[in-house]
Chains A and B, each alone.
Chain A
């Protein structure tokens, strides 16, 4: 089984609908992230969480919200989806980056969202 699991892998929805993307991990990492990938733009950080009680906005948080239900679970919600939120979304985890563990990211397989 994958260390970082995202569901759903693909979703087509309509403008105005509420969408939730879920992420679970078995790596035991405290830090979890949601990124958005658009062609030619690289990855942009939406939200990040360093533990269950610590949630922070990233570069492009407008229109998104998150919930850290447990150490292993981090969900991304689009309260009212719009077409320009059509993108590939990635969940990632990392360790704190101390000693030999220098904070590289471990990614899920991605959730492709299409908003019509």
Chain B
């Protein structure tokens, strides 16, 4: 069975500092990995994805994520955090099967402190 772990319930970072939100995964076959962001009282929005190719993928709002196959990780990063980045972030993994089941992590709340 596939799974996603987000080990931190909350990450606090000062505005202007780099941020990292951690994600590790387990899936059979090649992973399709996603990050989504949820602002208060809103639905989830797609940020970025890794399917194949370059291990560093860039997404919306200046976010990027690094795929590490040996560590089965897909950490979300941003060089300089903004207060407006404060939100709930979800990592997700999808398998390659016919159903393409998507499994979400439990989410990490990012708090950027002014």
Which residues of A does B touch, CB under 8 Å?
A: 4, 40-43, 45, 48, 56, 90, 92, 97, 102-110
Additional A-B contact list (4), CB under 8 Å, known A108-B43, A109-B43: A42-B106, A90-B44, A103-B94, A107-B44
Residues of chain A lying within 8 A (CB to CB) of residue B106: 40-42
Q: How far is the CA of A105 from the CA of B103 in the complex (A)?
A: 12
Residues of chain A lying within 8 A (CB to CB) of residue B90: 42-43
Do A97 and B45 contact each other (CB < 8 Å), given the known contacts A41-B106, A42-B107, A102-B32? no
Residues of chain B lying within 8 A (CB to CB) of residue A48: 99
A-B pair number, CB within 8 angstroms: 51
| Centre residue among A40, A105, A110 by max chain B CB count within 10 A | A105
The number of residues on chain B lying at the interface, defined by a beta carbon within 8 Å of a beta carbon of chain A, is 23
A104 touches B49 (CB 8 A): yes
Residues of chain A lying within 8 A (CB to CB) of residue B49: 102, 104
Q: How far is the CA of A50 from the CA of B98 in the complex (A)?
A: 11
Within 8 A of A (CB), among B11-34: 32, 34
Do A4 and B51 contact each other (CB < 8 Å), given the known contacts A43-B90, A97-B100, A103-B94? no
A4 touches B43 (CB 8 A): yes
Q: How far is the CA of A97 from the CA of B49 in the complex (A)?
A: 12
Residues of chain B lying within 8 A (CB to CB) of residue A90: 43-44
Residues of chain B lying within 8 A (CB to CB) of residue A105: 34, 36, 44, 46, 102
Q: Residue B104 at the A interface, CB < 8 A?
A: yes
Do A107 and B45 contact each other (CB < 8 Å), given the known contacts A42-B106, A97-B100? yes
CB < 8 Å: which of A45, A103, A107 contacts B32?
A103
Can you name the residue of chain B whose Cβ is closest to the Cβ of A96?
Answer: B100
Those 4 A-B pairs whose CB atoms lie nearest each other, nearest first: A107-B43, A42-B104, A42-B106, A43-B104
Q: List 16 A-B contacts (CB under 8 A).
A: A40-B9, A43-B104, A48-B99, A56-B99, A102-B49, A103-B100, A104-B49, A105-B36, A105-B44, A105-B46, A107-B43, A108-B43, A109-B42, A110-B41, A110-B42, A110-B43
